[in-house]
Amino acid sequence: MALDSEGLIKLFSYYRDAETRGCGLLMRMMQRVDDPEAQVLFSRHVDDETRHAWLWTKRIKDEGGLPVPVPDGYQRRLGQALGIPRSIIDLFALTVVVEQRAEARYKEHLASPLCDDKTRAVLNAVTKDETWHISWMEEWMLKMAREKGEEQKVKDTLARYREAEQEVWEEIKEDEREWLGFSFSDTQAAQSAV
């Protein structure tokens, strides 16, 4: 079975939306961090995320469509679950958790029997950047935490964010099953049965 263009365009629009939201958050964070080394890392990271957004846009156009509006369910529910980030370190923790979800989701989609060749090429291109995004942000966050003597507190925040994000993701999977008939996060057998 293959997904129809309409389903694919909706899914790619979600991915594109996540990339552009990530970009927006990174640019706001970049304005709050003075360190020159961090500025370099943020610049390269933003460059990656804008390119990722373009790759999804191009994939949508290749499918003969245009990006469609997507509900902000993930961000809204995450915001409700985590509360307002109180510091720049909280924003780093939020970004790490969201990036880890993006990486995991892209890998699940890559492993799916329903993944087509054009999508696989985009997924491979975007996934290879996610590993260093997560590692530089996590390292920088812990460096800032150590300087403030708050390493344990920040590790606890990260663990709390991860747990809350997992709960939100379960709800997103349910939404995805409603409009696709399955979730790319389901087992391969469940996807093949659709």
Q: Give min distance, CB of 104 to Fe ion, in A.
A: 12
Contact positions toward Fe ion, by CB under 5 A? Answer: 19, 49, 52, 99, 130, 133
Residue 114: C-alpha distances to residues 78, 121, 184, 187, 193 (Å): 28, 14, 9, 12, 11
Q: Is the dihedral of CA 3, 57, 175, 26 positive or negative?
A: positive
- Residue 96 corresponds to which tokens in the numbers above? 């790490």
- Output 104 or 150, the one with its CB closest to Fe ion: 104
Q: Give min distance, CB of 148 to Fe ion, in A.
A: 25
- Output 101 or 133, the one with its CB closest to Fe ion: 133
Q: Give min distance, CB of 133 to Fe ion, in A.
A: 4
- Output 22 or 182, the one with its CB closest to Fe ion: 22
The span from the CA of 105 to the CA of 69, in Å, is: 20
